[in-house]
Amino acid sequence: MAIEDRRVEQAYALAKERYAEWGVEVDQALSRLSEVAISLHCWQGDDVTGFESLGAELGGGLAVTGNYPGKARTPDELRADLDKAFSLIPGTHRLNLHASYAETGGSRVERNELEPKHFQGWIDWAARKKMGIDFNPTFFAHPKAADGLTLSSPDDAIRTYWIEHGIACRKIGAAIGEALDTPCITNVWIPDGSKDTPIDRKGPRERLTRSLDTIFAEPIDPRFGLDAVECKLFGLGSESYVVGSHEFYLGYAMARKTVLCLDSGHFHPTEVVSDKISSVLNWVDEILLHVSRGVRWDSDHVVTLGEELVAIAQEVVRGGYLNRVHVGLDFFDASINRVAAWAIGSRNALRAFLIALLEPTSLLRDLENAGDFTGRLALLEELKGMPFAAVWDYHCLKQGVPVGRDWLEDVRAYERDVLSGRG
């Protein structure tokens, strides 16, 4: 049952007073929250399948489990599902698109021959929504990636094919950014690595450096396109060695002035991305986050409102980094309703930013500077009980999206009316 608007407003008024006692201006926090754009990953909608019908297994260490009915099979279905998801998320966000979602009108187009026109359907759709798009070359789920090596492959023909794919995608990214008038981040993630201990760790990394340098050789107007590189510790089938490790890409991003992508599922389980943000932003201008949730491994579970998610948002806000950090999501769960997965993950990411924006940071910093660690801990814990949910509900109301759990009813209706008809 829908909660009455009046009750939402009353709860908000009380919450506002409570935050004011801490010196926090709630309206200001909400207006800053409206500026946070989440790049919603298209691949949650169809289990990273894409539209190429190559019949190749996903591979690359990526694994989607579950067979919940109703997955999107066509670009129109995927866009309809995304429309539904966006209607449940307050604010204006972005789409994160993979090259494997090209629309080639039924004919087979090799990945190294993709062009902006193959993404026109996506561009037109995003333009109507006044929304930006980010982009990713797809270096997996392809016969030429079957042995797990792409840009670092010792095979010249294979490596060249993937370099050409990277170059093609960068041009597509720039065309998307120009068409939509907001820079498109084209993020390179490759699966390259090995299951068992390699003798040669150096050769593949040297080849990867040369491949990337070739892909990025032509300058791109930063108003249209930005390049990002995504590191990883290990994957299924690349447990012993990943060519594009954190050190590799941190160095690359610093030396070549690209954006660095940090995926929260890509590190040792006791390592956290929240602690890396203020380190790497000393050395690179901008980062892209792939907000994910690994459970025991890089399992890409739907993002929940947990301690690390809030810590990531706090680090971004406390550091004053909102304009240098791009926020993308990266999870894929086929065991639950896929639209709900988007809604849950995105709403959680935004709620984490709201919690961070409602923090009386200068008060906490003063305690820390005065050496009052008792006060710092006490207040941090008290803040966890503050009524941020009343502020969130009000934000959803004002942004015209469902308040509280009402969004679930929308998803259930969509499942009944649309998804269940997909066979």
Residues carrying an active site annotation:
189, 230, 232, 263, 266, 290, 298, 300, 330
Residue 32 C-beta: closest distance to Zn ion, Å: 26
Binding interface with Zn ion (CB under 5 A) = 263, 290, 330
Query: Which of 192/330 has CB closer to ligand RNT?
Result: 330
What is the size of the binding site for ligand RNT (CB under 6 A)?
A: 11
Residue 192: contacted member of Zn ion, ligand RNT, none (CB under 5 to 8 Å, by partner type): none
Could you identify the residue written with the tokens 């108003």? Answer: 223
| Residues 29-48, interacting with ligand RNT (CB under 6 A) | 43, 48
- Contact between 263 and ligand RNT per CB under 6 A: yes
Q: Is 246 in the site for ligand RNT (CB under 6 A)?
A: no
Of 122, 60, 79, 40, residue with least CA distance to 341: 40
Chain centre distance of CA 210: 27
Q: Is 330 in the site for ligand RNT (CB under 6 A)?
A: yes
Q: Does 334 bind ligand RNT (CB under 6 A)?
A: no
Which of 142, 205, 276, 290 touches ligand RNT by CB under 6 A?
A: 290
Instruction: Name the CA dihedral angle for 256, 257, 258, 264, rounded to a multiple of 10 degrees.
Output: 100
Nearest distance, CB of residue 48 and ligand RNT, angstroms: 6
Cβ neighbours of 358 (radius 10 Å): 25
* Closest to ligand RNT by CB, 43 or 249: 43
Q: Which does 48 bind (CB under 5 to 8 A by kind): Zn ion, ligand RNT, none?
A: ligand RNT
- Which residue from 119, 122, 161, 189 is in contact with ligand RNT, where contact means CB under 6 A? 189
At 32, the amino acid letter reads R
**Which residue, chain included where needed, has tokens 């949730």?**
293
Which of ligand RNT, Zn ion, none does residue 315 bind to, with CB < 5 to 8 Å depending on kind?
Answer: none
Please choose which of ligand RNT, Zn ion, none residue 415 contacts, taking the beta carbon within 5 to 8 angstroms, the exact cut-off set by kind: none
3-state secondary structure the chain: CCCCHHHHHHHHHHHHHHHHHCCCCHHHHHHHHCCCCEEEEHHHHCCCCCCCCCCCCCCCCCCCCCCCCCCCCCHHHHHHHHHHHHCCCCCCCEEEEEHHHCCCCCCCCCHHHCCHHHHHHHHHHHHHCCCEEEEECCCCCCHHHCCCCCCCCCCHHHHHHHHHHHHHHHHHHHHHHHHHCCCEEEEECCCCEECCCCCCCHHHHHHHHHHHHHHCCCCCCCCCEEEEEECCCCECCECCEECCCHHHHHHHHHHHCCEEEEECCCCCCCCCCHHHHHHHCCCCCCEEEEECEEECEEEEECCCCCHHHHHHHHHHHHCCCCCCEEEEECCCCCCCCHHHHHHHHHHHHHHHHHHHHCCCHHHHHHHHHCCCHHHHHHHHHHHCCCCHHHHHHHHHHHCCCCCCCHHHHHHHHHHHHCHHHHC
Using the rule CB under 6 A, is 188 a contact of ligand RNT?
Answer: no
Cβ closer to ligand RNT: 48 or 386? 48
Shorter beta-carbon distance to ligand RNT: residue 57 or 124: 57
Task: Tell me if 52 contacts ligand RNT by CB under 6 A.
Answer: no
- Residue 107's identity, in one-letter code, is S
Query: Could you say which of Zn ion, ligand RNT, none residue 47 binds, taking C-beta under 5 to 8 angstroms by partner kind?
Result: none
- For the bound state, the minimum distance from the C-beta of residue 114 to ligand RNT, rounded and expressed in Å, comes to 16
State the nearest-atom distance from the C-beta of 329 to ligand RNT, in Å: 10
Comparing CB distances to ligand RNT, the nearer of 20 and 295 is 295
Site for ligand RNT in 121-140 (CB under 6 A): 136
Residue nearest to ligand RNT (CB): 189
Q: In the bound complex, what is the minimum distance in angstroms from residue 204's beta carbon to ligand RNT?
A: 17
Residue 114 binds which of Zn ion, ligand RNT, none (CB < 5-8 A, kind-dependent): none
Instruction: Using CB under 6 A, pick the residue from 93, 207, 232, 338 that binds ligand RNT.
Output: 232
Q: Which is nearer to ligand RNT, 19 or 43 (CB)?
A: 43
Residues that bind ligand RNT (CB under 6 A): 43, 48, 62, 136, 189, 230, 232, 263, 290, 298, 330
